[in-house]
Amino acid sequence: MVAVNNFNGEGILDLVDIDNDGNTVSILLGIGNGRFGSYTSFPVGSRPVSIAVGDFNSDGPLDLAVTNSADNTMSILLGTGSGSFGSQIIYSTGLNPQWIVAKDVDGDGRLDLVIVNGYSSNVGVMLGIGNGDFTSQITYPTFANPTCVAVDDFDGDGHLDLVVISNTWLLTSVLLGTGHGDFRSQTMFPSDLTYLSGVTDVPYGVAIGDFSGDAQLDLVVTFYDLASVGVFLGTGNGSFGLPTMFSTGSGSTPFGVTVGDFNSDGRLDIAVTDNSAHNTMNVLLNTCM
């Protein structure tokens, strides 16, 4: 997983990447014209998976939060503002932590962390103190083997909600937020807050956007073995329809996903990283609006 931001304050985008085998995160400082300098690595836990970026100690420079899947921990690396980071601060998570997102889920102006715990079959919320510390996680049950989470206001009440994707029959759980940092329990299918996609595959990535132009938030999820992405259209009340599937190309293995208007036509498009030997990125242009 790669994070893009300006970590040294020079106004040029830098890259932070995970080395899953080397148990490090590496930063490549941008030097302009799309070029980057040599990388500098910083130790984290065993088998890092996902990165979240934010100012966790309220000092201005950006910091990193990294999930470590093999030792069931999360590492905080506080940024110095020069493109470097301090030694990791370690927090316990659930079993096999995967996706991590930094958002202010309790509305106090401090970034909190939402972590998907794969083997624990739950999502954990760590509330930020504002000085780089976090509370112990509060967990909420999900379907078995969750892999990724999206955080936004899916029902239009002004509070952040969670959508958690599980790789068991691709069950998708919606946990509606109260605005105080806690979430209502998911309800089991066929409740209108939990969905069965109709496909069986392991989802690896999720992104949020309004793909249909109806001012409601939708989801796009990558399906590794099906060589496809699925677009779930949101209704605006915290519910989603069944996915419309789009191929990412024969032999591709879609992994990460992001969205943006890549051809400047006013419509949100989808970019998907291909984890196969192709080593490519596939762009799906939006024709729906």
The pLDDT score that the predictor gives to residue 288 is: 75
pLDDT of amino acid 194: 44
Rounded distance, CA 9 to CA 27, Å?
14
Question: Distance (Å, rounded) from C-alpha 247 to C-alpha 158?
Answer: 34
**Mean pLDDT per segment of 10 residues, for the chain of length 289 residues?**
87 89 93 85 96 96 98 98 96 96 96 97 96 96 88 92 79 85 65 44 81 92 85 86 86 84 87 75 80
Q: Are 121 and 171 in contact (CB under 8 A)?
A: no
Domain ranges of the chain: 1-141
What is the predicted pLDDT for the residue at 190?
A: 31
Q: What share of the chain is helix, strand, coil (3-state, %, to 5)?
A: 0, 50, 50
CATH architecture group of domain 1-141: 7 Propeller (2.130)
> CB neighbours of 199 closer than 8 A, spacing ≥ 6?
170, 223, 226, 230, 243, 245
Query: Beta 269-274 vs 171-175: how paired, if at all?
Result: unpaired
pTM of structure: 0.85
At residue 188, the pLDDT reads 41
Confidence (pLDDT) at 152:
93
Q: How far apart are CA 122 and CA 191, in angstroms?
A: 19
